[in-house]
Copies of this chain bind each other. A is one copy, B any other.
Amino acid sequence: MTTTISVIGLGLMGRPMARVLLAAGYEVRGWNRSRLDDELGQGIPRCDSLVEAARAEVCLLMLADSGAVNAVLEQFEPHLTAGQVVLDMGTSDPTYSKAHATRLAEKGIGWVDAPVSGGPEGAAAGSLAVMAGASEADFAQVEPILHTLGGNVVRVGGPGAGHTAKIINQLIVGLTIEAVAEAITLAELSGLDPTRVQAALKGGFADSQVLQLHGSRMIARRYVPGAKATTQLKDLRLAQKLAAREGLNLPHLESTIQFYEMLIARGGGDLDHSGLHTLLSG
């Protein structure tokens, strides 16, 4: 029997993920808080309400932050019954995830936090990195779905571990974007062709998707998200909260947060997170 999936949150990531699941033969229906342009939602069947979305075997959340997840769950949860699984693939605060998992488990409802990295490109290609936090039993229930969406799926630990791993992922991404921004700026001012530098560094220790993909956005001065600067800042603040709880001082995490705050204060909040480059290049 076909597994039914509701995809709650049809944003930059939710839309391509819903399409990949549809193409793989799942019975998928989407729900979005605000009305979507027909063009954006094209080809994704819709639920009329959250209550209807709550009827799917797997309720996949792809929402902006913990606030949105908490608000949706509040409306949603009374309509869930034992055997269903809530699969939260957005980037949220792991403190909440653990609480959600415990509360849902009491009603026999599964919980998997399985945020992803790889952007809309990775989502459309089904090649995302998926970092999951769940009990082994809950994880097993959604594993085929996760392998449809991801090129690499790893259960990092129990509930919350996926969200924690994703926050750590974002720490690396934010700091790597700053590193690549400094590098591209230096290459340009040194009179090198930055595209040839990118090509020459390929395969060496400096190489990364951030160098090739986000670096190209910097070179072209074309900062169409991808992921917005405001989203990256939200994620880095979650990392800061996590570090503070452990009494840990992470100097480049702190300064990168300041750089994103500066970028957003200058009106760059809706730019791709690679827009950090504009602080250096003017």
A binding-site residues for B, Cβ under 8 Å: 116-119, 122, 127-132, 151-152, 154-157, 161-162, 164-165, 168-173, 175-176, 178-180, 182-183, 185-187, 189-193, 196-197, 199-211, 213-214, 239, 242-243, 246, 248, 250-253, 255, 259, 280
Contacts and interface: CB of A to CB of B under 8 A. Distances in A.
A274 B119 CA distance: 28
Nearest to A185: B248
Contact of A173 (B178, B197, B205, B242): B205
15 contacts: A116-B204, A118-B205, A129-B201, A131-B197, A131-B204, A162-B200, A165-B187, A165-B201, A168-B206, A182-B253, A185-B250, A207-B209, A248-B280, A250-B280, A252-B255
Contacts of A253: 182
Contacts of A239: 186
B154 A196 contact: yes
A204 B152 contact: yes
B183 A179 contact: no
Contacts of A189: 243, 246, 248
B168 A187 contact: yes
A183 B176 CA distance: 12
B154 A186 contact: no
B130 A200 contact: yes
B129 A200 contact: yes
Nearest to A253: B182
A242 B182 CA distance: 12
A195 B35 CA distance: 42
Given A117-B206, A207-B129, A255 B250 contact: no
B205 A161 contact: no
A149 to B, nearest CB: 12
Contact of A200 (B156, B173, B201, B280): B156
Contact of A201 (B172, B183, B186, B193): B172
Contacts of A169: 201, 204-206
A96 to B, nearest CB: 15
A259 B175 CA distance: 15
Contacts of A186: 168, 171, 239, 242-243, 246, 248, 250
A167 to B, nearest CB: 8
B192 A165 contact: yes
A204 B164 CA distance: 15
Contacts of A154: 196, 199-200, 202
